[in-house]
Structure 1
Amino acid sequence: MNEQITEQEINAAGHLTIGGCDTLKLAHQYGTPLVVYDVAKIRDQIRRFRRVFETNHVAYAVSYASKAFAAVAMYQVAAAEGAHVDVVSAGELYTAIKAGFPMERVSFHGNNKSRAELLMAIRHHVGFIMLDNFHEIDLLADLLEQEDATIKVMLRITPGISAHTNKYIQTGQVDSKFGFDLQSGQADEALKRVLANPRMKMKGLHAHIGSQIFELAGFEGVAKKLVEVANHWQKQYGYQAEIINVGGGFGIRYVNADHPLMPEEFVDAIIKTIKKVVAQTDLTMPAIWIEPGRSIVGPAGYNLYTVGSRKDVPGLKSYVTVDGGMGDNIRPALYHAQYETVLAADPHAPLKEHVRLAGKYCESGDILSQDQALPATKPGDVLAMLDTGAYGYSMASNYNRNPRPAVVFAENGHSQVVIARESLADLVHLDRPYKAND
């Protein structure tokens, strides 16, 4: 049995369950490929994060990084659990608005927010704008004057700390498209510009060092660096930061060989580091914010696929093909990301072979797993890929003009569609006919 599946997730028939729902029944009812979330796991992780702050007696916010998975239903669950959210586009903001999410708990991130996006944020009274560059400070200043409005802001800085992670998801190093550089004095200059503008209410500073991080050192380092910057700003400019936002990036377990700390253990270390360093200064203890995304939804998500064709070549690893692939989970092709996959009908089944788990898309690189241990399989079997809840559906595409899958929330033995499966008609509804000019 896969180490990532608990006995409680196997029902009396021996089938894998998600949120108390039989995966074979889910596949039959909704079709495959199918994305399923165990809502209780989402709720539980948010509560675990909140509990570690409350145990440490500090003011805080758990701000869900919704780029990991954004949907009306997801924002509604986050709202019910008392979380904040961060958004990075007009689309994510619009989805949060449609979900009825409290706008005062929304932070708007991004390194190239458009005039229209900032105007939308102002008019919908978004809680915080996370300022990323000088162009944005000027643009926001113009819009606030135009709208006769004020807004809370934080400055994103690049702390000069590189996380030990994939180079494509490192964001804290000096050479990054994100944030104000410390070493060159950009961060200080940004602070001066914001403090000089009465329409911008400077609330704190933010950094994010990367994603899928397994080591404490990077988080402890960025926590220490942010306090040092806050202390410098108080001494140099008389500004007391109310919030220190350390971002997210807490690593999760994707395959059996992964052994990360529990996400809340990272947060406990961050809190203790900030408390220790603040105690060595004249600063008032600030609120501590985190922005987890993957660690909230990643382990809660599953992709269900139906086995189709098989290709066996003597001396080579066989290909077992499923009815999804890079269109619903591009991470294996993009990052060489790895996942574990089990037979939904019997996760206990003895493993018989190592295969390449291939997708149906017309690309040689559409391989979901280069080396997946599986029991014997046949066409029609349902496979469950584990821990797919982050950056799977949110990065999905219509490549080869394939419809994107449905998304189902499962909780307490009940399931519901929260994103409908796209139809073939959906694929062409934005197309317009060509008219020749004679």
Structure 2
Amino acid sequence: MKLHGSLNIKGNDLFIGNIKVVDIAKKFNTPCYVMDENLIRENINRFKNSIGNENKVVYAGKTFLNTHMVKILKEENICLDVVSDGELYIAHSSGFNMEKIVFHGNNKSYDEIKMGVQLKVGRFVCDSIEELEILENVSKEFNRKSKVFIRVNLGIDAHTHEYIKTSCIDSKFGISKDIDKISNILFKYRNSCNIEIVGFHCHIGSQIFSKEAFIDEVDEMFKLINDIKVIDKNFEINELNLGGGFGIYYTKDDTPVTIEEYVECIVDRVNYNCSKFNFNVPKLYIEPGRSIVGNAGMTIYEIGNIKEIEGIRNYVSVDGGMTDNIRTALYGSDYECLISNKACEEKSYKATISGKCCESGDVLIRDAFISKPERGDILAIFSTGAYCHSMSSNYNKLRKPPIVFFYNDNLKLVTKRESFEDLIRLDV
């Protein structure tokens, strides 16, 4: 088991900083998301320092986003990737600089494109020829010149889970690596008054541990750029967005490299290819999300029923489940956990940590080894900062948990627990 950031053990208790986790449970009740802001800011700055001032770190908002997270991004002076009008609204309403927005999405609606143009977002990532046409028309309507990355599907299999691969040949994302098609797009919009294609975007998947996958990504992208330049001598690549996907530690089976190693291998390979093809070095964008917030998150639960089926399995049920963390049910993800009030006791009790939803698949961890559990114990599941809150739901009409941020030995409630009234607030 690995403790990240401000987590530590004193006596027989799990702490975050100098605060007992059981005391957080008493104050805010369970389930509850706890985010380590110290670690979030540390990770952001490691990316910034590694990539250099001339390049851009773009936080992937889909990973975890609320108004407090936007505040952190503003203070740390990095960019934000959004994929919907909802994420864009949160950023705008929080006073985020729209010039630092990169607007993604493989099927943006007309209204989303219009909203992005009206708010003057810094970059659109266009996923299709049709989207480019709509964007040009909307930009003309508002007398704007929108800056665009063309998202390209490089056809790389980064050996991640099937559902989080985004750049293999069979993918809903990006324009296929067709030299003639891409060259025609560049030629069509070269003299447009309302579209400026600043460069290319690609993303090869998520939770990638291999530096070689990123090296392949850079090599394939520069082969494409060179092939286009052979056809079109006037083509210049000014900006290059290489996406994210940097893997993190969830369990002992995960072997990520450091943030610095990920970034260094990308920057070095870009420089190598620019030298090889005699290109000017473009401004680089990377889009980390999970690697900024994943290990900074922890979800705490209260243990309820304990069901021991002799010779088969022990079920330890908690007061949350797939509504606050769907990843195990959806991806087969795995986590590490600890009974926070029995942190140093022997961990020889094998259990499946199950949720309270009316679904047999509502499981958070399979075959966990924990201390002997009792009703009322507080269980902490680690590395839940990425995608757990973002993908949470009200299935079984459970209320979404609160979010508490820990920063410099202080706790701050940044998102309230949903109320019963919230469950019917939109009904008419």
Corresponding residue for residue 423 of structure 2: 427
Aligned counterpart in structure 2 of residue 90 of structure 1, from 85, 93, 107: 85
1:393 Cα offset (Å): 0.4
Aligned counterpart in structure 1 of residue 362 of structure 2, from 366, 380, 385: 366
Partners of 1:156 and 1:205 within 8 A in 2: yes
TM (norm. structure 1) is: 0.94
1:403 maps onto 2:399 in alignment: yes
1:244 maps onto 2:240 in alignment: yes
Partners of 1:312 and 1:319 within 8 A in 2: yes
CA change 1:119–1:308 in 2 (3 A) is: same
TM (norm. structure 2) is: 0.97
Corresponding residue for residue 122 of structure 1: 117
Q: Give the gaps of 5 or more residues in structure 1.
A: 433-438
SS of match in other structure, 1:16: strand
Q: Determine the C-alpha separation between the residues in 2 that align with 1:3 and 1:107.
A: 34
Q: Determine the C-alpha separation between the residues in 1 that align with 2:92 and 2:18.
A: 30
Partners of 2:8 and 2:17 within 8 A in 1: no
1:229 Cα offset (Å): 2.5
Aligned counterpart in structure 2 of residue 79 of structure 1, from 74, 84, 92: 74
SS of match in other structure, 2:236: coil
CA RMSD of superposed structures (Å): 1.5
Q: Determine the C-alpha separation between the residues in 2 that align with 1:341 and 1:215.
A: 26
Corresponding residue for residue 21 of structure 2: 23
Superposed CA offset, 1:141-200 (max 9, x none): 110111111111111000111111001111111221111111364332332233242211
SS of match in other structure, 2:280: coil
Identity, % of aligned pairs?
Answer: 37
Q: Determine the C-alpha separation between the residues in 2 that align with 1:162 and 1:187.
A: 21
Partners of 2:12 and 2:345 within 8 A in 1: no
1:282 maps onto 2:282 in alignment: no
Corresponding residue for residue 3 of structure 1: 2
Corresponding residue for residue 350 of structure 1: 346
1:235 Cα offset (Å): 4.1
Q: Determine the C-alpha separation between the residues in 1 that align with 2:169 and 2:54.
A: 29
Partners of 2:302 and 2:318 within 8 A in 1: yes
1:53 Cα offset (Å): 1.8
Aligned counterpart in structure 2 of residue 197 of structure 1, from 187, 192, 195: 192
* Bigger mean CA offset, 162-171 vs 177-186: 177-186
Q: How does 1:43-122 map to 2 (within 5 A)?
A: 43-54=41-52, 59-122=54-117
Q: Determine the C-alpha separation between the residues in 2 that align with 1:214 and 1:178.
A: 21
Aligned counterpart in structure 1 of residue 151 of structure 2, from 152, 156, 171: 156
Q: Determine the C-alpha separation between the residues in 1 that align with 2:310 and 2:37.
A: 44
Partners of 1:180 and 1:190 within 8 A in 2: no
1:3 Cα offset (Å): 3.0
1:278 Cα offset (Å): 0.3
Superposed CA offset, 1:389-416 (max 9, x none): 0010000000000110001111111111
1:13 Cα offset (Å): 4.7
1:138 maps onto 2:133 in alignment: yes
SS of match in other structure, 1:272: helix
SS of match in other structure, 2:260: helix
Amino acid corresponding to residue 49 of structure 1 in structure 2: F
1:179 maps onto 2:174 in alignment: yes
SS of match in other structure, 1:40: helix
Q: Determine the C-alpha separation between the residues in 2 that align with 1:86 and 1:147.
A: 23
Partners of 1:251 and 1:263 within 8 A in 2: no
Corresponding residue for residue 329 of structure 1: 325
Amino acid corresponding to residue 34 of structure 1 in structure 2: C
Superposed CA offset, 1:3-41 (max 9, x none): 3357x6335454222354321111111110000100011
Amino acid corresponding to residue 235 of structure 2 in structure 1: Y
CA change 1:5–1:266 in 2 (3 A) is: closer
1:324 Cα offset (Å): 0.3
* Bigger mean CA offset, 386-395 vs 19-28: 19-28
CA change 1:81–1:289 in 2 (3 A) is: same
Partners of 1:226 and 1:244 within 8 A in 2: no
Alignment size in residue pairs: 427
Amino acid corresponding to residue 309 of structure 1 in structure 2: N
Q: Give the gaps of 5 or more residues in structure 2.
A: none
Superposed CA offset, 1:67-98 (max 9, x none): 00011111111121121110000000000011
Q: How does 1:359-398 map to 2 (within 5 A)?
A: 359-398=355-394
Superposed CA offset, 1:120-157 (max 9, x none): 11111100001110110111111011111111111100
SS of match in other structure, 1:325: coil
Amino acid corresponding to residue 131 of structure 2 in structure 1: E
Aligned counterpart in structure 1 of residue 253 of structure 2, from 257, 265, 279: 257
